[in-house]
Chains A and B, each alone.
Chain A
Amino acid sequence: MAETLTRTATIRPWVTEKILMGLPPRAYARSLVTPGNAIVALILLVGLPIIVCRFVFGLASVTNLSQTTPWGLWIGLDVLCGVALAAGGYVLASTVYLFGLKHYYPVLRPAILTGFLGYLFVVIGLMADLGQPWRISYPVIRSYGVTSVMFLVGWHVILYLTVQFLEFCPAVFEWLGCSRVRRWAASLTIGATVFGVILSTLHQSALGALFLLAPTKLHPLWYSPFVPVFFFISSIAGGLSMVIVESAVSHRIFRNQVDPEQHVDLDRITLGLGQAASVVLFTYFFLKLLGLADGNRWDLLATPLGAWFLVEVLGFVLLPCFLFAHAVRRRNARLARAAAVVSVAGIVLNRLNVSIVAFNWNVAERYVPSWMEIVVSITIITIGVQTFRWIVNRMPVLREHPDYAGTH
């Protein structure tokens, strides 16, 4: 009895400090009552029952998917966009740990966390699409199916998720106060980064390679034997742009987390990332042109889908490329952030075009996602954002833990 009391007495302050952010339970519960949280609650209230419905009654009960269109919004938005925009994790980890550009360190942890959560919620979105999550062991262990690109994607995601968790582990152990384990986790960082870069290169392109299986289904302007390369290169630009957007938003929303004494020159970091994104987008634009020349279907540019293709390539690749360049020339970080928003929108547009708009373009039956599919996607993204918020408010992500300052 006495032992139980002692344990309760030890656990309670720990919970208060680590979970309730130092507030007594009632005060913490009261702090949760905000307009933002009310919107989140509303989304969850509508979205979670739909997800349950999908698992109980099957895809047909909530989606407009069919035998002709088996991949819809969940694959297009949650998986393809999620993976591309989570690329900031491997891009920034290589920048800091492999290229030694240490002044990007202040945005590294948020980028790795965004990457990790991005992938985690990609898996959740994929589970919603695939169903029967308990059978995940089949492609992983029981029945490899090594001839399928899906096998590649599945294993890459599992391994990369593990690697990103390892990369983020030092922050978790700093939060928990386990300095010995933290030291061990930090020693794995370089190895994890190298492994992570290899995996990302492979699986970002593997997602594009999925569309090599459907050369007749994908519109010729989007289909190219270079699709895997397009996916990989655009993920670098997407990752860089996402880090710019995410760091700007985080530094504004979590202002209390950013230590003013750290003197983080976010504008300088933003312009550096913007410069890299500009070069990547410039290269990506010419690769898209090469794909177009290789397909040799210039005539299709005069069709409505051709115009849409031009909107994507000119408005969301070339335009942000020059916006970034102009921002860097003028040292205008605000313009670089605007360019990053356009660039992120461009990546989303490209993935949705490839997986939905230009897919099955020649089939009479057009897929339009149902409202429930949209709500499920919003619900998954909302849970992802809330998880990010929960972690940033507690763990040393935007700030340095005082005990480990300068140890990176």
Chain B
Amino acid sequence: MMPHDLHAMYSAKAIEYLIAVAFLLLFVPFWSLLNGGPAARRVKVAKRALVPRLVEWFNVPENVYYHPGHAWARVEPDGYVRVGMDDFARKLVGPLAGLRLPAPGTRVEQSEPGWALLADDRAIDMLSPVDGIVVETNAEAFRSDRPPDPYGRDWLLKIKPEKLIANLKTLIVNGTERRWMELNADTLRLRLSPNLGLLYQDGGAPVDGLARTIDPENWDELAREYFLTSEE
């Protein structure tokens, strides 16, 4: 074989190796491109109506992502995320005088105040379960003339997510929400028992506005404690 042929052969082989390495290197971003999407594929997408599931006194349906500050998030088939406050939060605070929701276009961050509940001239902040831009708000949420539906028609915000996969990893889901809610109910029961000793044993449902029952003066501080927005 002539020397220049050898050279040609080696350069061709070198290019082949480079192509093979390029394939392996490019396959990684290609794979994430294929699987990233609006994150609707790797997350539980809300396709059907939620089935109520009672944990202690509270409705904790499956296939909902829960934030420890008692907000929830559901990923819609179109990739947007609907968020709201969970049944625990609603029963803790009771009837609302109103809501202070961010205007569409506002950027919210996970675990930062996203909206506020208004009751008895007090405002109680709640934390947003995800990062993103608010695209829609529900002005009709928790109207007093109809029974509350915190996971359905009383959703609060529709958000265009920004870091959905990372956000969802920090939320409570896949069965752990059950244990989490039991722990919350346990702590609440400890606070309740001096005043409402037989409530649990009776199997009765708690009254709306548990926080007010426990501490009529500083009930909003108690709620903030559970919503993780307490200033202390």
Contact = CB atoms under 8 A, between A and B. Distances in A.
Contacts of A279: 31, 34
B8 A296 contact: yes
Given A286-B23, A290-B19, A278 B77 contact: no
Nearest to B9: A296
A23 B41 CA distance: 47
A275 B34 CA distance: 7
Contacts of A55: none
A294 B22 contact: no
Contacts of A98: none
B40 interface: yes
B12 A331 contact: no
Interface in A271-288: 275, 278-279, 282-283, 286
B147 interface: no
A98 B134 CA distance: 46
Contact of A330 (B20, B30, B38): B38
B184 to A, nearest CB: 35
Interface in B1-38: 8, 11-12, 15-16, 19-20, 22-23, 27, 30-31, 33-34, 36-38
Nearest to A279: B34
Interface string B48-59: 000000000000
A186 interface: no
Interface residues of A, number: 16
B38 A331 contact: yes
Given A290-B20, A293-B19, A296-B8, A331 B34 contact: no
Contact of B34 (A290, A294, A329): A329
Query: How extensive is the interface on chain B, given as a class?
Result: 20 to 34
B206 to A, nearest CB: 40
Contact of A328 (B12, B22, B34, B79): B34
B16 A290 contact: yes
A329 B33 CA distance: 7
Contacts of B12: 293-294, 296
Contact of A278 (B11, B34, B37, B38): B34
Contacts of A293: 12, 15-16, 19
Given A290-B16, A296-B8, A282 B30 contact: yes
A290 B30 CA distance: 19
Contact of A282 (B15, B27, B40): B27
A325 interface: yes
Nearest to A331: B40
B77 A325 contact: no
Contacts of B8: 296
Q: Which of B8, B19, B33: most chain A CB closer than 10 A?
A: B19
A46 interface: no
Nearest to B37: A329
Interface in A288-302: 289-290, 293-294, 296
Nearest to B39: A329
Nearest to B31: A279
Contacts of B40: 331
Interface in B79-94: 79
8 contacts: A286-B20, A289-B19, A290-B16, A293-B16, A294-B16, A296-B12, A331-B38, A331-B40
Given A275-B34, A325-B34, 17 more contacts: A286-B19, A286-B20, A286-B23, A290-B20, A293-B12, A293-B16, A296-B11, A296-B12, A325-B30, A328-B37, A328-B41, A329-B36, A329-B37, A331-B37, A331-B41, A331-B77, A331-B79
Interface of A: 275, 278-279, 282-283, 286, 289-290, 293-294, 296, 325, 328-331
The 3 closest A-B pairs by CB, nearest first: A329-B37, A286-B23, A296-B12
Interface of B: 8, 11-12, 15-16, 19-20, 22-23, 27, 30-31, 33-34, 36-38, 40-41, 77, 79
